[in-house]
Chain A
């Protein structure tokens, strides 16, 4: 009997050793915690770019999408003859400097989706601090361009964030800007906007606030009459892309359109 027990134990041990061994020979990738950056107003562009590089390749997880060129444009290599991101960022949006464009692309990614890609990126303020975001901007600028970010940008951004009134749903949020960035491509309001989804005019008279909220966070749960053919076209991740305050403000605004 002991011989049988030994054989059974040996089989178990060999199987466990095999799986453990396989897990050890593959690349050992660890998901790091975003490093807290404590660079103040005096920080130089180089210091920020160096910190940004760590976030880009590490905890920011940026390369998972931007490193392949299939989910999102590769930022570190040439994109269709326009150069690396630092070289092309200043030409992406007319009137926007490279620094402004990159900062807004990180904080309002839905507004600047490159043609041919899906709007899968989320507002990086959900996971990164203002210092970390500006460090990323500095690193991206450094990829073929001049670094114009300084420590003062962080201080200004923090001051701007601190100056925003805190709660009051619907008050602190710029709802027209939210609509323009996220909704206007498909929904018409006061004669402006797309026609893929129902117009917002009079929406509050047709639907309760809870129904509007559900339509935003779970657009396929109930499709407006006449738009059944377009089911599935609205991105299902607005619930994740918008903050609670933004969502509350948006719903309050739409429910008020009577």
Chain B
């Protein structure tokens, strides 16, 4: 009888609930469509942020090259929007045909917001067309400000679109308290479902992440154009563009971990089991992979800055410090990537007395890892500061004192980070978790304080010589490609983490995944999927860049003289 009941239940759960996809299976098909759509979405949300900021700098500074760069990227957006919509459409069709029962649940709950989403996408697209095609028409005086406002509106529409979609996916992660498998979608309430517990942390995390991504893609594009440049002028332009893209990517990336802490805390507050699954359960090794990637990001970003100093007169005085900074970055990277438990065979486990290494075990805990990552952030910020100060000679009388105060801020922040890192070993875990906040606050305060002082020190500073844009070794540009590929892969990895912590649930503890692909795969399989998504995305982006180049060359092609 029990067996019969189970069969009936199983049939009820799965009958018509899932479709099949040839070759790779339904999950892989939806995975690729969702991830590539998300990567394009990040691109079309991140690049307008970049464009509107650089256009504003161009207006205020009256420096045409910022305006030119901004327009160059907006042209690429026109192509990228189509790709985003195509992949979004593909995702929708795959969901409706492969996961119809799940999608029916989502549509019943979020139907109204889906209509608003589609309408906003239209508005966003037409704002983009106006923004791009009106560039040369509205390029002076008030009209230029009006044009810039269009760019701002483009960002606002894009952000609202993203916030709506984030409501859908965060509902799947953290449905409101009290919602159960028996609750009808109508009883949940649209607002209640959209504004769930992880909605705002994801919004902020993605907003910053998109800015990082936009900057990184811009930098990689510039890197390629630099390598392909045939004139010094072109090389100088793309060298400068690469620097600006990298600057935006890394400066926004530095604050991304803080948004990540907030998201993590909200996940723990929502459901301890989910938090533990994410950090200490089957996903715990994912963070080691993440540490490897972020270590590469820090090293590549700093490498690019250090090489870039070779084109700045006066930067030689900082050169002796870079080897020590490199050493610190590597040591911190190794600490961050140290696992808490070791992969070992039986003999090795017996020799260690368990899966915890007698020495490395000390480095594999959060106290050490938080300390390491904060030191990496401080080191990268110091690289930026050196780069910024390289070709200037301050003229304000208090420059020496100001620099000493800046130095003291670094020392103080480092001391706070180290103190709480060590103290963390002697307190309960619940107390230790709070220490990361003190470490973060110390680092953020240092970054803000030092930057403010530096802005005032730089007022009226003498130049030690103009930056020799374009005189950059070719190898530096490959660091920009490494950054772009790594950011894209990291986005795929974090997408897997966010989605995977739901485990065998479509909607966590509300709607069970009863498909043949309900088990959450191991990292090896996930890595294959992420790499496939990155290859598809970057391949299409390269195609879009090539199309942009075609359009550019067509515009610059001399017209035949009349009468010919």
Contacts and interface: CB of A to CB of B under 8 A. Distances in A.
Given A12-B538, A33-B504, A122 B271 contact: yes
Contact of B177 (A8, A38, A126, A240): A240
A243 B280 CA distance: 26
A97 interface: no
Interface string B339-362: 100010000000000000000000
Nearest to A71: B276
B322 interface: no
A171 interface: no
Contacts of B1: 40
A16 B285 contact: no
B92 interface: no
A20 B272 CA distance: 30
A16 B176 CA distance: 38
B182 A61 contact: no
B137 interface: no
B79 interface: no
Interface string A9-45: 0011001100110111011111111101010100000
A120 interface: yes
Given A19-B293, A217-B177, A244-B180, 16 more contacts: A8-B481, A11-B485, A15-B481, A19-B489, A20-B531, A23-B526, A28-B522, A29-B523, A31-B281, A32-B519, A34-B504, A40-B2, A68-B280, A120-B276, A122-B272, A217-B178
Given A23-B526, A61-B277, A64-B276, A16 B520 contact: no
Q: Which of A22, A243, A247, A248 is most buried by chain B, counting CB atoms within 10 A of its CB? A: A22
A19 B289 contact: yes
Contact of B500 (A11, A31, A65): A31
Contacts of B482: 11, 15
A11 B280 contact: no
B405 interface: no
B543 to A, nearest CB: 13
A61 B282 contact: yes
B385 interface: no
Interface of A: 1, 4, 7-8, 11-12, 15-16, 19-20, 22-24, 26-34, 36, 38, 40, 59, 61, 64-65, 68, 70-71, 118, 120-122, 126-127, 217-218, 236-240, 242-245, 247-248
Contacts of A33: 504, 513, 518-519
A126 B511 CA distance: 11
Interface string B273-312: 1001100111101001100110010000000000000000
Given A19-B527, A240-B271, A30 B521 contact: yes
Interface in B152-186: 176-180, 182-183
B527 A24 contact: yes
Nearest to A126: B509
A238 B272 CA distance: 11
Contact of A61 (B273, B339, B522): B273
A22 B481 contact: no
Count chain A CB atoms within 10 A of each CB in B178, B276, B293, B528 and give the residue with the most. B178
B481 A31 contact: no
B535 interface: yes
A121 B274 CA distance: 11
19 contacts: A11-B485, A15-B489, A16-B485, A19-B292, A20-B527, A23-B527, A26-B289, A28-B523, A29-B283, A29-B522, A31-B281, A31-B283, A40-B3, A71-B280, A239-B177, A239-B178, A240-B177, A244-B180, A247-B178
Contacts of B521: 30
Contacts of B180: 243-245
A180 B309 CA distance: 68
A120 B196 CA distance: 21
A11 B478 contact: yes
B41 to A, nearest CB: 21
B235 to A, nearest CB: 13
B270 interface: yes
Q: Which 5 A-B pairs have the closest CB atoms?
A: A239-B177, A23-B527, A28-B522, A31-B520, A120-B272
Contact of B343 (A22, A24, A27, A242): A27
Interface in B474-531: 478, 481-482, 485-486, 489, 500, 503-504, 509, 513, 518-524, 526-528, 530-531
Interface of B: 1-3, 6, 10, 176-180, 182-183, 224, 227-228, 269-273, 276-277, 280-283, 285, 288-289, 292-293, 296, 339, 343, 429-430, 478, 481-482, 485-486, 489, 500, 503-504, 509, 513, 518-524, 526-528, 530-531, 534-535, 538
A28 B524 contact: yes
A150 to B, nearest CB: 14
Given A22-B292, A61-B273, A30 B282 contact: yes
Contacts of A218: 177
Nearest to A63: B281
Nearest to A154: B2
Contacts of B282: 29-31, 61, 64
B272 A19 contact: no
Given A31-B282, A61-B273, A118 B183 contact: no
A4 B281 contact: no
Nearest to A28: B522
A218 B528 CA distance: 40
Contacts of A31: 277, 281-283, 500, 503-504, 519-520
A19 B531 contact: yes
A169 to B, nearest CB: 11
A65 B269 contact: no
Nearest to B343: A27
A248 to B, nearest CB: 8
Contacts of A120: 272-273, 276
Nearest to A158: B2
Contacts of A11: 478, 481-482, 485
Central interface residue in B2, B227, B339, B538, by most chain A CB within 10 Å = B2
Given A64-B277, A240-B271, A4 B227 contact: yes
B183 A244 contact: yes
Contacts of B285: 26-27, 29
Contacts of A238: 177
B224 A8 contact: yes
B503 A247 contact: no
B519 A237 contact: no
Given A20-B527, A20-B531, A122-B271, A65 B276 contact: yes
A27 B523 CA distance: 8
Contact of B228 (A1, A59, A70, A248): A1
A161 to B, nearest CB: 13
Contacts of A26: 285, 288-289, 339, 343, 523
A55 B482 CA distance: 42
A20 B528 contact: yes
Nearest to A217: B177
Nearest to B520: A31
